[in-house]
Structure 1
Amino acid sequence: MRIIFYLHHPAQFHLFKNIIKKTQLDNEVLVIATKKDILLNLLDDEKIDYVNILPEGRNNNLLSIALGLLKQDVRLWRICRKFKPDLLVGTSTEITHIGKLMGIKSLFFIEDDIDVVPILNYLAHPFADRIITPVVCKLGKWEKKGVKYHGYQKLSYLHPNVFQPDYQIVQKYNLKEKYFILRLSNLGAHHDVNAKGISEDVLDKIIKKLRVKGQVLISSEGFLDEKYSEYKLKIDPLDIHHILSYCSLFIGDSQSMAVESAILGTPNIRVSSFVNRISVLEELEHNYNLTFGIKPDNEIGLLEKIDEIVSNDNNEIIYKQRKQKLLSEKINVNDFILWYITNFPKSDLEFKSKSDFQNKFIQND
């Protein structure tokens, strides 16, 4: 089978990196990527060959995004004419457009509810053949296209059968025994319009509170003021999940890293206007107590939650138990996605015909 994987965000690299490598063993695979944050660096580091479909890049304004989308549609169409794929896989709207235009099946992966990213109602979902998503995600009128699995995208690369944290990687950066990671997103994506996260004033108060307890590290997507330079997290991007695994507390306005922290069993607080809106995070919070959401204007609640977590000496035991409960109820997403892609369309028929089919992908530590 000839398969195109289309990536345009670092999170998608992690989602598909193991799957791409295994799929390449028995199939012809072409990886397409765009220059987004550190995505191309990650692909280079993992020695995964790719085609950069938008080397000129784009800005985050709506006009640039629209023009970029049009360019990528045209370029993907040209690539498909030459490569002649049987299947288009990814999280980008382009695969659904060109798939529908050229009669190529498209598998569109998403982990957001349709009301959180409503633009997909118009740009992607109408054209996708299948929408692969966690069971808890809401697809609205597109539910019939859904292939809903018992898990989360981040489990595809953080399930213990795939990933084991290595403390030696932490040691090579000379981090203190107790350290805290603060993540600042640039909130520039199309679905982040009017979104709010951690303000500078609140950030200063968090740092003041935590630096007497351990080492404070800041990871920032955008510009970081010079006054925070001593806290800047300087690591190889491929090591981030090892660093996150041994972190005493993660605080950020990144939804993705909050999910990753939860799956790794790392205490975490997300500060975002998206709190109470994203089904995956709501399940992780209310079913498993593996994350806590605080609205940006609730400064007192945030500082109190920080005190509560940092003062608990039993966090390692508590969060390990919560993580084990999660793993016992979720599937090995990496194995499931690999099976579904490489056996499509037979896999689609089998998945729909057996209600308990996913149970075979449950694998505990």
Structure 2
Amino acid sequence: MSERVVVTIQHPAHVHFFRHAIGELRGRGYDVRVLVRERELARELLERYGIAHRRIAGSVASPLGLLAVQPRYEYEILRRVRRLEPAAIVGIGEPAVAHAGHLVDGEGILFTDTEHAAVQNAVSLPFADRLYTPTAFWDDYGSHHRRYPGYHELAYLHPDRFAPDPAGLTGIGDEGPLVVVRLVSWTAAHDVGRSGLADLERVVAGLERFGATVRVTAEGQLPPSLEARRLATAPDRIHDLLAEADLFLGEGATMAIESALLGTPALYVSGLRAGVLEELEGRYRLLRWLSADARPIDVLSHARELLRIRESTWARRRRRVLEETVDTTGVIVGAVEDAVRGGRPRESAESTVPEVVRR
């Protein structure tokens, strides 16, 4: 009988992160079961990619709602893991994965790149059998913690996995620079008290005076004056759009990183920081961070400066990133196979995980 692996999904970004690994593991004979928490776009993406899955918890609209549904979600994960008896349980920063790994023979494997998710990290990362983070991750969790040179987003945006296709993109304008604006809902547990772009209408007006075509992707309502600029792009085409754009401007860290890795300059406006964001800004100069209290005039000044830099400069900086990082899907697959074949993490870095992974 083939070894069974459980993958948990709590966010649309997790679908992208795991989808190639799910396919590769299934191609190698593993019985991969996908358990998903209801979340805007997550199940739609799974269906678009043809990934069989089972819904085990409803959606939430606020941090308090997340706290309310979490016990039920953990219970369902534990109940199903007991029944499925997987050799490995995999997730992104998910407490239920770490806890379930201690109730069955399977290894609990967690990935994360988010230091500021302090509460979630405290109740999950120390209890995982294996923890994998980018090398830029600030914190250290001890002997079960492994690092790799890369980013979550390179699990699906590495050139071996993704080639941009602009064909069929609509509503992006034929003249002037294309600016994609991202607004988030700020409903995650680690978003409490956080904020991002202020006076969005003024920012958009300033960009359009500069000759830009502005398209907005948002988790929720937009001001009526901006609704006509809402993106109509299908969720599985968003990375084609980001690759086509001339600038990303927004509150979403994941989309800012995605843009940077595609060679599109990212202007990230938020009170949230992370090691991977600082590395993309300081080492590779593909991303620029502004604090959440940045004035619209300052946001516009930085946006215009970034739009004036030549495309060849962004392409050169992107090449450097790709030369110094790895295909993260290989890390995921290697982590699962190492856990299934070898049990507890070895003290040395020698394993089926790529050689670049280090303690």
Structure 2 unaligned blocks of 5 or more: none
Residue pairs, 1:184-199, within 5 angstroms = 184-199=183-198
Q: Distance in 1 between matches of 2:330 and 2:102?
A: 27
Aligned residue for 1:50? 53
SS of 2:126 mapped into structure 1: coil
CA RMSD of aligned residues (A): 2.0
Contact map agreement 1:150 1:358 (CA 8 A) in 2: no
Aligned residue for 1:148? 147
Pair 1:35 & 2:38 matched: yes
Aligned residue for 1:86? 87
Aligned residue for 2:222? 224
The aligned amino acid for 1:44 is E
The aligned amino acid for 2:290 is I
**Cα distance, 1:342 vs. partner?**
2.5
The aligned amino acid for 1:102 is V
Pair 1:294 & 2:290 matched: yes
Q: Distance in 2 between matches of 1:31 and 1:285?
A: 34
Contact map agreement 1:154 1:259 (CA 8 A) in 2: yes
The aligned amino acid for 2:161 is V
Aligned residue for 1:168? 167
Aligned residue for 1:139? 139
**Cα distance, 1:18 vs. partner?**
0.7
Distance 1:104 1:346, change over 3 A: closer
The aligned amino acid for 1:134 is P
Structure possessing the higher relative contact order (Cα contacts under 8 Å, 6 or more residues apart): 2
**Cα distance, 1:123 vs. partner?**
1.7
Q: Please, what TM-score do these two structures have when normalized by structure 1?
A: 0.90
Aligned residue for 1:317? 312
Q: Distance in 2 between matches of 1:36 and 1:352?
A: 38
The aligned amino acid for 1:290 is L
The aligned amino acid for 1:258 is A
Richer in helix (by share)? 1
Pair 1:75 & 2:70 matched: no
Q: Distance in 1 between matches of 2:60 and 2:332?
A: 30
- Counterpart of 1:207 (choices 181, 204, 207) is 204
Distance 1:328 1:359, change over 3 A: farther
The aligned amino acid for 1:110 is T
SS of 1:292 mapped into structure 2: strand
Contact map agreement 2:148 2:356 (CA 8 A) in 1: no
The aligned amino acid for 1:7 is I
**More off after superposition, 223-232 vs 117-126:** 117-126
**Cα distance, 1:132 vs. partner?**
1.0
**Cα distance, 1:74 vs. partner?**
1.4
Q: Distance in 2 between matches of 1:174 and 1:269?
A: 19
Distance 1:174 1:311, change over 3 A: closer
The aligned amino acid for 1:66 is L
Aligned residue for 1:18? 20
**More off after superposition, 75-84 vs 345-354:** 345-354
Contact map agreement 2:144 2:345 (CA 8 A) in 1: no
Q: Distance in 2 between matches of 1:323 and 1:224?
A: 32
The aligned amino acid for 1:118 is A
- Counterpart of 2:278 (choices 269, 279, 282) is 282
Aligned residue for 1:336? 331
Aligned residue for 2:128? 128
Q: Please, what TM-score do these two structures have when normalized by structure 2?
A: 0.91
**Cα distance, 1:57 vs. partner?**
2.8
Q: Distance in 1 between matches of 2:7 and 2:188?
A: 21
Aligned residue for 1:8? 10
> What is the identity percentage for the equivalent residue pairs of Structure 1 and Structure 2?
27
**Cα distance, 1:349 vs. partner?**
5.3
**Cα distance, 1:143 vs. partner?**
3.0
Structure 1 unaligned blocks of 5 or more: none
Contact map agreement 2:107 2:339 (CA 8 A) in 1: no
**Cα distance, 1:354 vs. partner?**
4.1
**Cα distance, 1:193 vs. partner?**
1.1
Aligned residue for 1:101? 103
Distance 1:28 1:346, change over 3 A: closer
**Cα distance, 1:102 vs. partner?**
2.9
Aligned residues, how many? 348
The aligned amino acid for 2:44 is N
Aligned residue for 2:256? 258
SS of 1:3 mapped into structure 2: strand
